Amino acid sequence: MLAPQIPAQPLQHVKKMLLSMAWLLLVATPTILPAAPAQTPAENAARPPGSLELLVLGSGGPGAEGRASSSYVLFVDGAPRILVDSGPGSFARLGEAHVDLGALDVVLLTHLHVDHAAELPGIVMARAVSIGHPIHFDVFGPGGHPARGDVPSFPSTRRFMELLFGADGAFAYLEDFSAPVSFTVTDLPRSARFDQTEVIYERGNVAIHALQGHHDDAPAIIYRVDVGGRSVVFSGDIDAQGLPALERIARGADLLVFDAVVLDPPGSPPILYTLHSPPKVLGEIAARDHIGSLLLSHLSPAVDENRGAVTASIGTHYLGHVVFASDGLRVTP
């Protein structure tokens, strides 16, 4: 058997070095919030038909500050159906919440940064082990791009899944480790019209829409999930260029889950504003789009330690309910 060939990596670009330094500044003071009480499988199932509920598995970012990284489960009619991102720590949070993995068959990846996608193999394995019969996942995520000058390459979601679970993938053994596992993988956007919202999934009372976001050099997707007249939108990490797309897809949503990393300028390191959007513009969009409630997640310690200022900035324009996420939090849109 041939050993895999790992290409030599170029020196880290100065911008990435600055970004790493900026995050070190942001995570200097750990913040640990307690999880909500775990619920039993019977309690998870006791939801009325047509209901939609969000469970926060991970509310943190790339820093190791005591939270799991970005990850969420959506319960549809009481059953956990949709996984949105799978950052480090989400595997353990699934167990703590006693989530029944039998129906968790849709995966939405906002982008392929480590803090949003690294724990997917563990979750796939956990479902296979817990079920013991053939399982299938519908996986959606961004397309990729080759390296361009100083811009690093990113695999498409299809290629990402091949590298993990394909015949020559890192975790190829999971194909039939406990139960046969298969995937249908869709790279987004499927249309050349990047400014148009796509319906990517429709089954029963569930409809999922997607639109291309923008997260500096990382291909990114914004998702909207509608169930029985209720709706939740996941911004993912989004910079200023992605805000018009967020505004289009989020109009009238009952809940917007927004990745809150930076303070209003100049409160955060300048490099972070090339990747994330500040509270003031979020408040403006939420007000114009008539968003029902805001859930701030992917929290940096800088944001967590300045909740009053963040809430006040958003409240300059938006008068709705604002909640700061914690691991284990449950929200009904």
Q: Residue 39 and residue 67: Cα distance in Å, rounded?
A: 19
Q: In the prediction, which pLDDT does 309 show?
A: 97
Q: In the prediction, which pLDDT does 267 show?
A: 93
Q: What are the pLDDT digits (tens) for 295-321?
A: 999 999 999 999 999 999 999 999 999
Instruction: Give the predicted TM-score (pTM) of the model.
Output: 0.85
CA distances from 38 to 72, 112, 162 (A): 15, 29, 34
Q: In the prediction, which pLDDT does 226 show?
A: 97
The answer to whether position 4 is within a domain reads no
* 273-288 core/surface letters (b: 16 or more CB in 10 A; e: else): bebbbbbbbbbbbbbe
Q: In the prediction, which pLDDT does 259 show?
A: 96
The answer to whether position 49 is within a domain reads yes
- Count of domains forming the chain: 1
Q: Residue 166 and residue 174: Cα distance in Å, rounded?
A: 10
Low-confidence ranges of the chain (pLDDT < 70): 1-50, 192-194
Sheet of 230-234, strand order: 198-203, 206-212, 221-227, 230-234, 255-259, 293-297, 321-324
The DSSP secondary structure of 137-157, one letter per residue, reads: EEEEEE--B--BTTBPPB--H
Q: Residue 289 and residue 248: Cα distance in Å, rounded?
A: 8
CATH of the domain at 218: 3.60.15.10
Q: In the prediction, which pLDDT does 179 show?
A: 83
The whole domain housing 286 covers 39-331
Q: Is 44 helix (H, G, I), strand (E, B) or coil?
A: helix
The DSSP secondary structure of 102-128, one letter per residue, reads: GG--EEE-S---HHHHTTHHHHHHHHH
The answer to whether position 10 is within a domain reads no
The answer to whether position 34 is within a domain reads no
Pair 303, 264: CB distance under 8 Å: no
The answer to whether position 14 is within a domain reads no
The answer to whether position 302 is within a domain reads yes
The answer to whether position 26 is within a domain reads no
Tokens found for residue 28: 């200097």
Tokens found for residue 238: 């989004």
The answer to whether position 286 is within a domain reads yes
